[in-house]
Structure 1
Amino acid sequence: MSCAGSDTARLVEVELDESVGRTTPDVEHERAVAIFDLVEENRFQPVGDEAGGPYRLKLSLVDSRLVFSISRESGETVVTHILSLTPFRRIVKDYYLICESYYDAIRSATPSQIEAIDMGRRGLHNEGSQTLMDRLDGKISVDFDTARRLFTLVYVLHRRG
């Protein structure tokens, strides 16, 4: 999926709602890496926003819903999209279980065991990313790499909440 005006169809800042608390150091590390990578390289364009970005994004959970609050770099509000978390529940639960196995494995398992678990983890991450892209269709245009990083943040918020 391409985003028109690629020099402005991007995020320059991503913030997670901190009011939902913190989780494990491993998950917080994933959050930090995902935000860094997301700001460094992304394709993000609210559908129908002709004025263009770059954009700021605040992700939060409100009443078991995922909230995408999008503003321009200047702070001017562009749009807010609210998504149900229901389509993500199974994927996030399975992803949590495989991540726990992965974190345990990197501390004590053989390289081949770690690789096998990581392949499963990546598969679930891809599934979650595709689900996110599908849910954002018609609302926000993103490429797959951007969706992968955003799914990581959805996972972190879900774990915190």
Structure 2
Amino acid sequence: MTEAHPDTERLASVELDAATLPAATAEIEHERRVAIFDLVERNVFSPAGAPGGPYALKLSLQDSKLVFDVAGPDHARTHVLSLTPLKGVLRDYLMICDSYYEALRGSSPSQIESVDMGRRGLHNEGAETLKARLDGKIDMDHETSRRLFTLVCALYRR
């Protein structure tokens, strides 16, 4: 990907369609808000064929599919992704996150580091899978795909 123009190849807002998402605890709602803030704060996001942004993204879940409604000044498009290719890495990532938080409560620094390395590896794998699934639809850099995967995890978590 080429260097993005900061004003046009980016997300200006991200909205979640609460009506289609699973009920969330206060903790999960907080995770979702933080993930959205991080994603909007810094991203490179360019829908294929779009004349320029910035863009607004609305995420929803429909029939076990992740729906990306992307709108820009002269662009509106919907992309639907099956969650099936992501389910394994999502499940593994959420399990290792639980292990990481448990390790923080009483494990040695080397054990914490080991679990954290695994957690980061799965996070990168999930981000790359998501980026590959959006290839040809939405162009983004690695850090944006990581932030988007974090948001997907927060949506998927129950």
**TM-score normalised by the chain length of structure 2:** 0.89
Shift of 1:77: 6.0
Identity %: 60
Q: In angstroms, what is the RMSD of aligned CA positions?
A: 1.9
Identify the residue that residue 36 of structure 1 maps to in structure 2. 37
Task: Name stretches of at least 5 consecutive residues in structure 2 with no aligned partner.
Answer: none
Distance 2:125 2:26 in 1: 23
Partner amino acid for 1:2?
T
Contact kept? 1:47, 1:139, Cα under 8 Å: yes
Runs of 4 or more, structure 1, over 6 Å off, are none
Match 2:90 to one of 80, 84, 92: 92
Partner amino acid for 1:33?
V
Q: CA deviation digits over 1:68-121, x for unaligned, max 9? A: 01112x6x7611100011110110111111011011112222222111111100
Contact kept? 1:65, 1:84, Cα under 8 Å: yes
Identify the residue that residue 141 of structure 1 maps to in structure 2. 139
Q: How does 1:68-107 map to 2 (within 5 A)?
A: 68-72=68-72, 78-107=76-105
Task: Name stretches of at least 5 consecutive residues in structure 1 with no aligned partner.
Answer: none
Shift of 1:47: 0.3
Counting matched residue pairs gives 156
Shift of 1:2: 2.6
Distance 1:153 1:7 in 2: 22
In structure 2, do the counterparts of structure 1 residues 29 and 104 end up closer, same or farther at CA, with 3 Å as the change threshold?
farther
